A and B are shown apart, each in its own frame.
Chain A
Amino acid sequence: MIRKIKKQLINHYIFSLLAIFLVYLPSCKNSDSEVVEISFWGMGAEGEAVQKLLPAFLDDHPTVKVKTQMIPWTAGQEKLITAYASDNLPDVFQLGNTWIPQFVNLNALEMLDSLIFYSSQVNKINYFEGIWETNVIENSVYGIPWYIDTRVLFYRSDILSKAGLDRAPKTWDELYQISKKIKKKLNNPEKYAIYLPTNEWAPFVIFGLQNGAGLLRKGNTLGDFRAKEFEEAFDFLIRFHKEELAPIGISQVTNVYQAFAEEYFSMYISGPWNINEFKKWMSGELSDCWMTAPLPGPDADRPGLSLAGGSSLVISKNSANKKTAWSLIEFLSRPEIQIKFFQLLNNLPAVKQAWEDSLLQHDPYIQAFFTQFHHVISTPKVPEWEQIAFSKVQQYAEEAARGNLSIPEALTALDQDIDRILEKRRWMLSR
């Protein structure tokens, strides 16, 4: 009797294991061979918006199916790298253009040069040079700009003109002088001229680049933040904190839009993703009280550079359907599709022809970006850049802004940390 029960138990056990396998087997079955299915991963809202653009593409390509997936921006890089590690990268995906060096280094991306060469749609001359450049690593193109961004100056035109300047500052000196005047005019310890939060590395790096700093040296293997060019720029920005022209710390401002609307600060360096939010908060009486402008330069002769940002479309090296993947990229690069995409999310189009559309022409806040895109530059193209910018530049900017470290001390420590981070890169290159 007992033996019989045991046998039954074993049978149950084996059958349930079998059942588990059977349930999972059918999903491995091959689908219809004539239909090509490609996968596309987009970040956040872009991943959702692209689904609204796809019907036109599918009409042109009846045998193609596109599987789209949204991944959140905040976990985007982790997800993509994990997908790469498990060989599950999609055929086409969106990649922030500062992430391209990392994925090229992983050998995860397809070189696009020959596809571009034979393409009637994608051509380098249709793009802003500085933006295109971020997709080029060692003379090969790995991504096609999809939408672009950069940072410009958002400013309260009413306060600036009250302080005596009827336009945006064009040079560093003008920026500093007007800040002092604003602070004096508002005469309130709770009001500042400019917001330079130390949890945003971009302004510090931008002003350095404007002043000719290389940031890294010796083939991007050693830190070069101690260089005179960067030190001048860093010193210039920290002065705003020290002279209370900019608030120290980041917790006072929980909502930048509200703070801008209530004159907590009058100038802020930010990107196109903020245009609509500012429009929303600066409504009614305030709607004429703000504007955007290209960034000021170190002096009248040098234009104010800014960062070449945005997202590119890339093809995974292991994709089995590169041709179809490329046709999707070509489709998304058509000027009319770029404009549709702009209408959906306000992402600025990468293709220059799209900028001739009246939608963009008639938006006064977008014009500054158009000008700025002619003067954009990319950050050093090394996989470690994200770590250098987000952890180290921000850390030492905060130390300096709070006066815990002097400027030379902060920059020396910054370079030391960067040299340590880049140790692996030096070893890789020496092999």
Chain B
Amino acid sequence: MNTQSKMAYFFLAPALLAIFIFFFLPVVAAFIISFSDFDIYSLGNISNARMVGFKNYSVLIKDPLFWKALKNTFFFVIVAGPLSILVSLAAALLLNSKLVRFKAFFRLTYFLPVVTTLVAVAIVWRFIYHPRFGILNYLLSFLGIQPIDWLGDPLWAMPAIILMSVWKNFGYNMIIFIAGLQNIPLDLYESAEIEGANHWQQFTSITIPMLAPTTIFVSIITMIGYFQIFAEPYIMTQGGPINSTLSIVQYMYQEGFRWWNMGYSAALAFILFIIIFIGTVLQLKIKKRSD
């Protein structure tokens, strides 16, 4: 090792140490805990913890609540993910169009939900969804639709959460899409126009392929974020009614920090990690193939 790289390591040491202590060690500890039954009894006296091997995992597989939470989370990712990407893309295209005026104003408005506190947003949406006084049911009544108990009906609670999440989050991806759109060289469109391509053809042959790297990035980030869905259902429904909006992370939180079943909760965390890992690898594979 030459002096220069020694120097480099010397200066990197604090950061590496911090990463080791605050990231690497906890992950290893959590991994070990996931093979134990560490709980409130063990907190007082560590000898009350047992190493139970794969028991947490085998119990998990038989736990109907786990499957319900997993199903809910997948449903959320599969529906809300593409939906929010589509909405973001549509909003970005609109704001990037030459026809739109007051762009800065609209950009700000669309981005506002992202930076608004979720608790405040949730209060407003709870009123929107209110079965008796909510504006949504009021508007639907003009179409002759009977009032729906949005957050109280196991069938509708998840769609309601999805709608709110998409509204809350699309602004962030929209900004990234706008940046991606602005990176597309204008001469591509000019030459396409000279060749006689219409707008739709320009969109499918230039915009979509040129946006591919941005789309991959956005979809991976969205997928990772949505797999970890927690705050929205936690505030709006606490996972109810009858656990129809319970997500994996919320189940993990409940088991870990409300009931102190740390071992079980850690096992849940690793299952979620594996799912997200597989999801990310799949998306990168798809990207490589399309390249």
Residues of A within 8 A of B (CB): 6, 10, 13, 78, 81, 84-85, 102, 105-108, 190, 199, 249-252, 254, 383-384, 386-387, 390-391, 395, 398-399, 402, 404, 420, 424-425, 427-428
Interface residues of B (CB under 8 A from A): 7, 10-11, 37, 39-41, 43-45, 48, 50, 59, 126-127, 129-132, 149-154, 237-238, 240-243, 254, 257-260
A contact residues around B126 at 8 Å (CB): 254
Q: CB distance B152 to A428 under 8 Å?
A: no
26 contacts between A and B (CB under 8 A): A10-B10, A78-B257, A78-B258, A81-B260, A84-B44, A105-B41, A106-B43, A107-B45, A108-B44, A199-B238, A249-B152, A251-B129, A251-B131, A251-B150, A251-B241, A254-B127, A383-B41, A386-B258, A391-B258, A395-B243, A398-B242, A402-B154, A402-B241, A420-B59, A424-B41, A427-B50
A408 to B284, CA, bound (A): 50
**Judging by beta carbons under 8 Å apart, are A428 and B43 in contact?**
no
A252:B149 contact, CB within 8 angstroms? yes
Chain A residues within an 8 Å CB radius of B240: 199, 250, 398
Across the A-B interface, how many residue pairs have beta carbons closer than 8 Å? 76
Are A107 and B44 in contact, CB atoms less than 8 angstroms apart?
Answer: yes
Residues on A with C-beta less than 8 A from B130 are 251, 254
Nearest CB in chain B to that of A251: its residue? B152
Residues of A within 8 A of B132 (CB): 190, 252
Q: Is the CB of B259 within 8 A of A391?
A: yes
- Contact present for A387 and B258 (CB under 8 Å): yes
| A contact residues around B259 at 8 Å (CB) | 384, 386-387, 391
In the bound complex, CA of A254 to CA of B7 (Å):
62
| A81 CB contacts on chain B under 8 angstroms | 40, 43, 260
What is the CA–CA distance of A64 and B240 in the complex, to the nearest angstrom? Answer: 48
Given A395-B243, A398-B241, check contact A252 B44 (CB 8 Å).
Answer: no
Given the contacts A78-B257, A251-B130, A395-B242, A85 and B43 also touching, CB distance less than 8 Å = yes
B153 touches A383 (CB 8 A): no
Q: How far is the CA of A106 from the CA of B45 in the complex (A)?
A: 7
Contacts of A78 in B (CB 8 A): 257-258
The answer for the CA separation of A427 and B37 in the assembled complex, in Å, is 12
Q: Give the complex CA separation of A391 and B242 in angstroms.
A: 11
Q: Are B258 and A249 in contact (CB under 8 A)?
A: no
Known: A398-B240, A398-B241. A383 touches B40 (CB 8 A): yes
For residue A367, give the distance in angstroms from its CB to the closest CB of chain B.
34
Specify which chain B residues have a CB less than 8 angstroms from the CB of A390 in the assembled complex: 258
Closest to A3 in B: B3
CB distance from B243 to the nearest CB of A (A): 7
Cα(A195)–Cα(B37), bound, Å? 39
* Shortest beta-carbon contacts, A-B, top 8: A251-B152, A249-B152, A106-B44, A387-B259, A251-B151, A107-B44, A398-B242, A383-B40
Q: Bound complex: CA of A253 vs CA of B259, how far in Å? A: 28
- Known: A81-B43, A251-B130, A387-B259; 18 extra A-B contacts, CB below 8 A, are A81-B260, A105-B40, A105-B44, A108-B44, A190-B132, A199-B240, A249-B241, A251-B131, A383-B40, A386-B258, A386-B259, A395-B242, A398-B242, A399-B242, A402-B154, A424-B39, A424-B41, A425-B41
State in angstroms the CA–CA spacing of A431 and B41 once bound together.
13
Q: List the A side residues contacting B257 at CB < 8 Å.
A: 78
| Closest A residue by C-beta to B59 | A420
The reply to whether A102 and B45 contact each other, CB–CB distance below 8 Å, is: no
A391 and B254 contact, CB distance less than 8 A: yes
- Separation in Å of the A190 CB from the closest CB of chain B? 8
Cα distance A352–B44 when bound, in Å?
Answer: 35
What is the bound-complex CA distance between A399 and B153, given in angstroms?
12
Checking B48, B127, B150, B242 against A402 with a beta-carbon cut-off of 8 angstroms, the contacting residue is: B242
CB distance from B157 to the nearest CB of A (A): 9
Chain B residue, CB-CB nearest to A431: B48
